[in-house]
Structure 1
Amino acid sequence: MSVYELIAILGLTSYAIYQQTRRHEVVARTRVKLTFIYLAVGLLIGGMHLPSTPLAAVFLVISILLSLIVGQIRGRLTRLWVEDGKVYSQGTPLTVAIFLGLIASKFVLGTIAYFTHASDTGGIGEILIMLAIMMAIQAELIHRRAMRLEDEPVVGDASLA
């Protein structure tokens, strides 16, 4: 891993944690902004390589499944609420820990793949692309949850009488 890759992953991880822990309005058109940032940087610093062995394909499938599962979990556990007619979201310590755990698992999978000679082509770019998959799933779930919250009647609303 080069110094530039390390700086990229640390910068993007710090930014993602900041974004997760701050309160922000759920806005449909910007829900995948962070996903595209991770995807673009991942492609720029190495991208993905097709698996060259069956074991490498297994590692890739495990990595994709982890991203999908964690995206589902985080999308369901992110805190949502309505305030002044707008839906807001904020990550929790648990969702941040799950995010960091996913990153750590990607490094562990890559290390195991390298030492078992399953693959030596994976890198930071591939990790960022897998994180982008997780973020896309999470963003879509949060958006759908937010839409349901927007549709719920407000208790005490005079227009319901």
Structure 2
Amino acid sequence: MPLSSIVIILAMVGYAVYRQSQRHEIVGSSRFKLAIIYGVVGIAIGGYHVPAGGLAWTFLLVSIALSVVVGLARGRFTRVWPENGGVWAQGTPLSIGLFLGLVVAKFALGTVAYFTGVSDSGGIGEVLLMIAVMVAFQAEIVWRRARPLGARESSADGVRVAR
């Protein structure tokens, strides 16, 4: 893996952990922004290849399923509360740990696939795409929890200030 890819993944993981530790207002229309960023960067970096065989497809499907399950769990365990006319969210140590665990698990799956000869074509782009899937599922669950509490659908609905 090129050094530039390692720097990019470390920067994006660091940014994600930072963002999760900060409180932010939930706005429905922008809930997939981070997932889109991860997806675009993952595609731009490359390193994703269509699986060549049945076992490689199994590894890919397990990876996607893991991203979905972790995203659903993170959405459930993200702290959500109404305040000052808005609805706010902040990651918890558990939701941040689940994120880091997914990154480690994805690298572990790729390593096992490589050393068992199942696939040697996985890369950093694939990891970022799996993170994008997780973040998208998390964002939807958080949105579904926040909407009944009065979360705004769009930024045009008024600006809230964190205190």
TM-score (norm 2): 0.90
User: Quick one: distance in 2 between partners of 1:91 and 1:37?
Assistant: 19
| Structure 1 residue aligned with 2:109 | 109
**What's the CA shift for 1:33?**
1.1
User: Quick one: distance in 1 between partners of 2:129 and 2:39?
Assistant: 5
Structure with larger Rg: 1
Mark the runs of 5 or more structure 2 residues left unpaired by the alignment: 152-163
C-alpha offsets along residues 47-85 of structure 1, whole Å, 9 cap, x if unaligned? 521110111011001000000000000000000000011
Contact map agreement 1:47 1:129 (CA 8 A) in 2: no
Amino acid at match of 1:101: G
| Structure 2 residue aligned with 1:140 | 140
| Structure 1 residue aligned with 2:78 | 78
**What's the CA shift for 1:150?**
1.7
TM-score (norm 1): 0.91
| Structure 2 residue aligned with 1:43 | 43
User: Quick one: distance in 2 between partners of 1:4 and 1:128?
Assistant: 14
**What's the CA shift for 1:26?**
0.4
Mark the runs of 5 or more structure 1 residues left unpaired by the alignment: 152-161
User: Quick one: distance in 2 between partners of 1:47 and 1:83?
Assistant: 42
SS of the residue aligned with 2:150?
helix
Between the two proteins, the alignment pairs up a number of residues equal to 151
| Structure 1 residue aligned with 2:65 | 65
User: Quick one: distance in 2 between partners of 1:124 and 1:48?
Assistant: 8
SS of the residue aligned with 1:81?
strand
SS of the residue aligned with 2:105?
helix
User: Quick one: distance in 2 between partners of 1:48 and 1:148?
Assistant: 38
C-alpha offsets along residues 98-155 of structure 1, whole Å, 9 cap, x if unaligned? 100000000000000000110011010000001000000000111111002228xxxx
User: Quick one: distance in 1 between partners of 2:38 and 2:54?
Assistant: 27
Query: Percent of pairs identical after alignment?
Result: 52
- Is 2:3 aligned against 1:8? no
